[in-house]
Structure 1
Amino acid sequence: MKKNTILHLLVLLLGFGAKSQELLTLENAVKIALENNYEITIAKNEVKIADYNNSIGNAGMLPNVSANVVNNNSILDTKQTQGDGTVRQLKGAKNMNLTYGVGLDWTVFDGLKMFTRKERFETLKQQGEANLKRTISTKISDVYATYFDLVQQQQQLQAIDTALLISNQRLTTAKNRYSIGKAAKLEVLNAEVDLNADISNRLKALEMYQMSKIKLNEILARDIMIDFTVEKEINIDPTLTLQPLKEAAEQQNPELQAQILNKKIAELQLKETKGNRYPTVRINSGYNFTRSEASLGFVTQSNGNGFVYGISASMPIFNGMSQNRNEKIAKIGIENASTQVSLFKQNLHAQLASTYASYQSNLNLIQVEDKNVAIAKQNLDITLAKFKIGTITTIEFRTAQENYVTALVRLSNAKYLTKLAEISLKELAGTLNLN
């Protein structure tokens, strides 16, 4: 590759991102996700549905009021024999009976099932809210992880840029040494090969960086081609401790809360099933208008209006042992729901413990890698100075250069992995937020 071509490409690569781009902060990314994400929208709508269902009317506590109209007509060939033996006969006799009015039907007692249903609807609403919180927490976690992955890749691109600058400086030095006869042509060629390798590495890293941008735009449910930059640093919270996380998880983990509410729903279903053992009492009332007409008979027309009312009661005595069977099934449902809660708590504690171990390990790793970066930078500075005066080989120089870049990448990876563990811990504890 010619010198001018290499330098031109180098300028393009180093200048990439220098154009004015939107700085997408973590706070704005979360805000956009909460507003746009489709799964969050669906979960919010599910809460609305549960809220609409959570009413005393849907639980059966209110009466049903309806307007009724009944109109029966007939055309009959009629023959009537009176008590004195007189026969009356009419072909095509028209008869009409009309009843209309307003009726009320109210179940005033059903074994307290209506109150249990209302409590179950309230619990279902709470469960929907817990599921919404879980969906929001999951999406925030996804935004965090992808966002800080971009920060990490951005840092690695900067490390590769540093390698490019050093490789270009090395190539310039090699050419100057070759021009005055202090170096062989092989030294220049090796420098060009290493520079090309660094350019290739940056192109690959840049491809991954662009793909991660598309992924974040997808999570934010916006145009995937929107270009942006992210913040430069990954801020770590080093103060997390395991016991407070466990206590918070017991109280705030949204999935655990949904499991506990599911157990409560199972208990309410048993209570509602037991309500079938008690009598059901209904009140019926209304105000009706009646009118009847007959072509043949002692009364050819009749009208009436007024209140009608009554009360009815029923109580199951035997239904083929269905009641006992349904109660046994409901009890098993409670047992299963309780087992699910215990199982989830066990898994939750295990996840917290393993993730916390990873969190602590990576915190220690950050300290080690930070020292390695300082040592590698010092070694590179010394090596570069020796290379300029020709006291070390190109292989030694390249090794020092690669060690420095590798140390930068390892430090970036350690910070990213620590941040992922921190995000997971806060998500499990139900405390994930922008702090």
Structure 2
Amino acid sequence: MKKELRFAFVIILLVVFQVSSQEKEIITKEEAIARALENNFGIKIARNQVEIAENNQGILNSGYLPRLRGQAGAGYDLNDRLTEPEDRENVDQKGIESNRYNASINVDYTLFDGLGRLYNYKSLKEQYDLSQLEARETIENTILQLMSVYYEIARLTQNIEVLQDVLETSQERVTRAQYQFDYGQTNNLAVLNARVDVNNDSINLLETRQQLHNTKRDLNVLLDREIIDKEFVVDTTVGFIPELQLEAFVEEAALNNVSLLQIEKNLNISDYDIKISKSAYLPTIDLTGSYGWNRNRSAATAFFPGSTTTTDGISAGVSLNWNLFDGGGTSVRVQNAKINYENQELLKKQIELEVKRNIANAWGNYQNKLYIFRVQEENVTTNQDNFERSEEQFKLGRITSIEFRQAQVNLLDAQTSLNLAKYDAKLAEMELLQLTGQLLNIKL
């Protein structure tokens, strides 16, 4: 009785899952990628870094614009004064007031700074390009992570379809075995074996459904969806890029791989760092200009009457500064910049070798996964044919339930292995596309 109740409970759960899976939102691969590009936290941070680099490489941060300063001031004095002339009486003055006012506008401009400003400006341009490449790398990694979760949902979805078919077949076995037992054509052992298989198939289906729900939550988090338990379905279709097109991508990988492009930018930046350091050997020429206004009012003294003086006018000047010797600081900076450039060259050689190795590995892995997928397709066809023949023989009573169950299990293994091989091959293709720099240029 307990077994029958347990069996009924499992069936009810499966029916509830089936009903809840109807009329769900469909998220295509394109929609998932678009949402990730819009909402993913890592991509948002990368874009903010690009925006900072864009601000840094603008004209307002270049040093080419003049500096304009405004100044103003006022002063007030209140004093007592005692004057003691030698040939006359003392003069004692109380509450003597005097005040001062001034205002000016000053312009400073560096006409020449040893070309350091020019190379720094070019370096900032390279840093902006580098930030864009870093953002691209973040986007590529996010898309790979996203699609690995997306295809895992697709794989589990198709596995559930397979497990549902298996469960339906097992349930038919229970019904058939029960009828045969009722009419005395078999013993109760066949019924019990059929029910055990139904229970096992039900458990496998329930566990796979739970894995599917967990993976869907992972995708909701990656897409920054507020409701992480929100239900949806995904597109399970998969297409592969022609091999000739992939070979062309591999041949052009040196021009498109994001790691190689980044190290090239770092080399350019290091080269500019050398030139910026060398600019300290040259003089700087500064231009200055100002317009000023001054007003002073002084109190009368024992010898002079009080007066008010107002002046205004413009002034301009040019200055040359040449640091003939700075204690060797410039020389050290130049040497260190050159060493850093050499390090970047060594790093470039290392990255080139690693990229070649990674592409070769990815290409071999992709071909292997694709071959396994093709073999699994044939394997499913063979096992499907074997299962159908076994089902006919089982209905005719020519094979045992154990032999029929084995054919059923073989078909199940072949179908789930096919699903795994299909999505493994697609992910291997995507990894190859990333290494060749084409992941963002191809419709997945």
**TM-score normalised over the length of structure 1:** 0.93
- 2:404 is the alignment partner of 1:402: no
- Picking from 117, 141, 146, the partner of 1:138 is 141
- Picking from 285, 294, 314, the partner of 2:298 is 294
- 2:173 is the alignment partner of 1:164: no
Q: Deviations over 1:289-318 (max 9, x none)?
A: 011122256473211011111111111111
Distance 2:81 2:275 in 1: 58
Shift of 1:96: 3.3
Aligned CA distance change for structure 1 residues 10 and 121 (closer, same or farther; 3 Å): closer
Shift of 1:7: 8.4
Distance 2:133 2:376 in 1: 40
1:303-318 equivalences under 5 Å are 303-318=310-325
Which residue in the other structure is 1:353 paired with?
360
Aligned CA distance change for structure 1 residues 144 and 240 (closer, same or farther; 3 Å): farther
- Picking from 398, 410, 432, the partner of 1:391 is 398
- 2:432 is the alignment partner of 1:425: yes
Of the structure 1 ranges 121-130 and 294-303, higher mean CA displacement relative to structure 2 is found in 294-303
- Picking from 262, 267, 281, the partner of 1:277 is 281
Does structure 2 conserve the Cα–Cα contact (< 8 Å) formed by 1:369 and 1:407?
yes
Does structure 2 conserve the Cα–Cα contact (< 8 Å) formed by 1:291 and 1:301?
yes
Which residue in the other structure is 2:263 paired with?
259
- 2:18 is the alignment partner of 1:15: yes
2:43 alignment partner AA: I
Q: Deviations over 1:38-57 (max 9, x none)?
A: 22122222222222222233
Report how many residues are paired: 435
RMSD: 2.5
- Picking from 145, 150, 162, the partner of 1:147 is 150
Aligned CA distance change for structure 1 residues 218 and 394 (closer, same or farther; 3 Å): same
Aligned CA distance change for structure 1 residues 309 and 18 (closer, same or farther; 3 Å): closer
Shift of 1:242: 6.3
Shift of 1:6: 6.7
1:239 alignment partner AA: E
Shift of 1:17: 5.6
- 2:434 is the alignment partner of 1:434: no
Which residue in the other structure is 1:99 paired with?
102
Of the structure 1 ranges 279-288 and 49-58, higher mean CA displacement relative to structure 2 is found in 49-58
Does structure 2 conserve the Cα–Cα contact (< 8 Å) formed by 1:246 and 1:349?
no
Shift of 1:389: 2.1
| SS of equivalent to 2:290 | strand
Distance 1:294 1:65 in 2: 32
1:22-421 equivalences under 5 Å are 22-75=25-78, 93-223=96-226, 224-239=228-243, 243-296=247-300, 298=304, 300-421=307-428
| SS of equivalent to 1:19 | coil
Distance 1:239 1:157 in 2: 31
* Percent of pairs with identical residues: 28
Aligned CA distance change for structure 1 residues 54 and 80 (closer, same or farther; 3 Å): farther
| SS of equivalent to 1:337 | helix
Shift of 1:13: 6.4
| SS of equivalent to 1:35 | helix
Which residue in the other structure is 1:2 paired with?
4
Q: Deviations over 1:275-294 (max 9, x none)?
A: 11111111110111011122
Shift of 1:248: 3.4
| SS of equivalent to 2:61 | coil
Of the structure 1 ranges 243-252 and 155-164, higher mean CA displacement relative to structure 2 is found in 243-252
Distance 1:209 1:375 in 2: 28
Distance 2:210 2:86 in 1: 107
Does structure 2 conserve the Cα–Cα contact (< 8 Å) formed by 1:283 and 1:309?
yes
| SS of equivalent to 2:49 | helix
| SS of equivalent to 1:182 | coil
Q: Deviations over 1:296-352 (max 9, x none)?
A: 564732110111111111111111110110111111111222222222222222111
Q: Deviations over 1:212-267 (max 9, x none)?
A: 11111111111312210111322222426665333433222233322221221111
| SS of equivalent to 2:325 | coil
Shift of 1:434: 2.1
1:265 alignment partner AA: I
| SS of equivalent to 1:234 | coil
**TM-score normalised over the length of structure 2:** 0.91
Distance 2:357 2:185 in 1: 64
| SS of equivalent to 1:57 | helix
Does structure 1 conserve the Cα–Cα contact (< 8 Å) formed by 2:365 and 2:428?
yes
Does structure 2 conserve the Cα–Cα contact (< 8 Å) formed by 1:242 and 1:352?
no
Does structure 1 conserve the Cα–Cα contact (< 8 Å) formed by 2:76 and 2:98?
yes
Does structure 1 conserve the Cα–Cα contact (< 8 Å) formed by 2:10 and 2:202?
no
Distance 1:379 1:278 in 2: 86
Aligned CA distance change for structure 1 residues 389 and 82 (closer, same or farther; 3 Å): farther
Aligned CA distance change for structure 1 residues 218 and 395 (closer, same or farther; 3 Å): same
| SS of equivalent to 2:252 | helix
Distance 1:257 1:155 in 2: 40
For structure 2, the 5+ residue unaligned runs are none
For structure 1, the 5+ residue unaligned runs are none
Q: Deviations over 1:87-106 (max 9, x none)?
A: 97756654433221211011
Distance 1:434 1:85 in 2: 105
Of the structure 1 ranges 138-147 and 155-164, higher mean CA displacement relative to structure 2 is found in 138-147
